[in-house]
Chain A
Amino acid sequence: MNLLRSFVRRTPLGWLQLSKEKSRLLVALSGVAFADILMLMQLGFQGALFESGVQMPKSLNADIIITGSEIINFNNADTFPRGRLYQALDVPGVEQASPLYLSLTRWKHPITLEKGTVLLLGLDPNLEQLTRPDVKAQLDKIRLPDRILFDQNMRGDFDAVIAKIQQGTVPTTEINERQVRLNGLISVGSSFASDGLLLASDQTFLRLFPDRASTKVNLGLLQLAPGANADQVARRLDSYLPDDVQVFTRQQFVEFEYGYWKNNTAIGFIFTLGVAMGFVVGVIIVYQVLATDVNSHLEEYATFRAMGYGHQFLLGIVLEEAVILAVVGFLPSLGIAVGLYHLTRGATSLPVFMTLARAGGFWWRRW
């Protein structure tokens, strides 16, 4: 109440000082907005790094995931013997276990023949191994050999390819010197590891990689009996299965993937550094603006002191200015960053989105 009263009677000196010099204010705000945009872009890239990394792990239709013990990340999931999956079925609570094959592989653009890197997933078309609706609806299209679902959000210019698929004239291309047919469209998008996703049946996958034995699988997807506790079952599996596999709950697997992109890649660090640099630039700009402003009002401030205003009062003016610059500079930068995110999305097919947390200043959160 008292605070409100003193707020109402207080002359908003910081605001009045800033707004008196319109052009200086504009320059200051652009500076702050610039630093904010710099930071938001870096955060956007970083967010895309994480999101693109975890979007496939998130869409695995499994309560527990088994991987080879040497797994680096989802895209480089080391293989393990398929027999481990049958063993896993021994553990109470495990109802179903199915293998998933995957490989980062080179392929050729069906029309321009440009080479690219894609993640090829081989799944069992009789099971719903992925929760993605676009995949679930089109499993029939990959039952026949050498049929593939093509990621229409793949990085690169695939408009003609997409148009062909939509018209039903099935384009063909080569993977590992074998012809495949692009039979349907899914929408996943690129990541920092691949241009996009190609989806085939496990049979097709093994035909494309003849040197891979079907007994070597990349991921095991386990589904639990209703009511089973995933953490408990995971612990039991961990002690029951040999050391050549690792056991994750779905949540743990997603966290593992986040951790990889955040801590184990150079690019995760680079974005963090970029954010820090943007912050420093912002600090320098704001400091410069405030210092100039204080300097040009020294006499007035001395007069206020002579009138009996304390040191706090002067600090309050500077603080008020800082808050105004921060808030008013942030709002346009938010708009501009959203625009730039849109452009980046178009150019890279990466999931660069403004999150509520980031817009609200909680950049370290994932919501």
Chain B
Amino acid sequence: MQSEPAIQIQRLNHSFGKSNLKKQVLFDVNLDIFAGEIVLMTGPSGSGKTTLLTLVGSLRSAQEGSLKILGQELCGARTRTLDRARRNNGYIFQAHNLHSSLTALQNVMMGLEVHPHYSKAQMRDRASAMLAQVGLEERIHYFPDDLSGGQKQRVAIARALVSHPKLVLADEPTAALDSKSGRNVVELMQRLAKEQGCTILMVTHDNRILDIADRIVHMEDGYLAPQAVLASRR
């Protein structure tokens, strides 16, 4: 594949707490993900998946080892650098985390407002187009409270993808959904990612969606298990 991986993690360690209470949750994690790949991460609860994802997404700063995202080293990076790096990512949480005072359209527009170069009109156009792509063109002026769980998660996906991020990070995005809407949401992500050519790293417990992955990695007690190549299975 490509020469430079979109995500390049080497000998990454991470601990919470200080001195006596210090608890290491990631041990010598190594992982390369190439542009355009869809990688799923599975593993038991408490094994460190969310921690790794938040590190990759610049939500917390890496302490030890090397973490290169889109060519930029984030280990030991400053707050401002992290703030900026986040704008390149689309982050999807377990809960939709939509802003309840904003309509679906306004929520999606927030995904663009963080990039200073869009005008208001451009933001509105792109956001409604994105909502149409996730099948919510009829609901763009609904508030989150008036949408179903699956619809809310689709708005969250639209918000994450509207700025065409190079990297999409998703932390159990289907956990709060029934299996059918879960499946829909994931397929939607897969389709959009392929269209936009972005890289996806998704944490999931959901066995029914493993087939969308190009590759699955497994986290166990802070160690990332050998990478199984699944593309052949398809």
Contact = CB atoms under 8 A, between A and B. Distances in A.
Nearest to B54: A306
Given A6-B116, A9-B123, A11-B110, A307 B99 contact: no
A299 B97 contact: yes
B86 interface: yes
Contact of B83 (A8, A299, A300, A310): A310
Interface in A265-316: 297, 299-300, 302-310
Interface string B70-108: 000000000010011111110101010111111000100
A309 B112 CA distance: 11
Nearest to B143: A20
Contact of B110 (A8, A299, A305, A307): A307
Contacts of A305: 59, 83, 86
Interface residues of A, number: 22
A305 B59 CA distance: 8
A109 B91 CA distance: 82
A10 interface: yes
A197 B88 CA distance: 78
Interface in A300-356: 300, 302-310
A160 interface: no
A72 interface: no
A9 B119 contact: yes
A309 B114 contact: yes
Interface residues of B, number: 31
Given A306-B57, A307-B110, A300 B100 contact: yes
A17 B101 CA distance: 5
Contacts of A307: 86-87, 91, 110-111, 114, 159
A35 B106 CA distance: 34
B120 interface: yes
A13 B101 contact: yes
B142 interface: no
A203 to B, nearest CB: 77
Nearest to A303: B97
B84 A308 contact: yes
Contact of B113 (A9, A300, A306, A310): A9
Interface in B110-156: 110-111, 113-114, 116, 118-120, 123
A306 B116 contact: no
Contacts of A26: none
Interface string A4-19: 0010111101001101
A41 B32 CA distance: 69
B171 to A, nearest CB: 10
B155 to A, nearest CB: 12
A308 B83 contact: yes
Nearest to A310: B83
B102 A303 contact: no
Contacts of A13: 99, 101-102
B109 interface: yes
Contacts of B97: 299-300, 302-303
A9 B118 contact: yes
A264 B2 CA distance: 84
A65 to B, nearest CB: 63
B114 A306 contact: no
A309 B116 CA distance: 11
A308 B102 CA distance: 18
A303 B171 CA distance: 13
Contacts of A20: 100-101
A96 to B, nearest CB: 72
A151 to B, nearest CB: 58
Given A11-B106, A13-B101, A306 B91 contact: yes
Contacts of A16: 101-102, 106
B119 to A, nearest CB: 6
Contacts of B80: 310
A11 B102 contact: yes
Nearest to B99: A300
Nearest to A18: B101
A308 B113 contact: no
B100 A11 contact: no
28 contacts: A6-B116, A9-B118, A9-B120, A10-B113, A11-B102, A11-B110, A13-B99, A16-B101, A16-B102, A19-B101, A297-B99, A299-B95, A299-B97, A300-B99, A300-B100, A305-B83, A306-B57, A306-B86, A306-B93, A307-B86, A307-B87, A307-B91, A307-B159, A308-B83, A308-B84, A308-B86, A308-B87, A308-B88
State the 3 A-B residue pairs at the shortest beta-carbon distance, nearest first.
Answer: A308-B87, A308-B86, A20-B101
Interface of B: 57, 59, 80, 83-89, 91, 93, 95, 97-102, 106, 109-111, 113-114, 116, 118-120, 123, 159
Given A9-B123, A299-B97, 7 more contacts: A10-B113, A13-B102, A300-B97, A300-B100, A304-B110, A305-B83, A308-B86
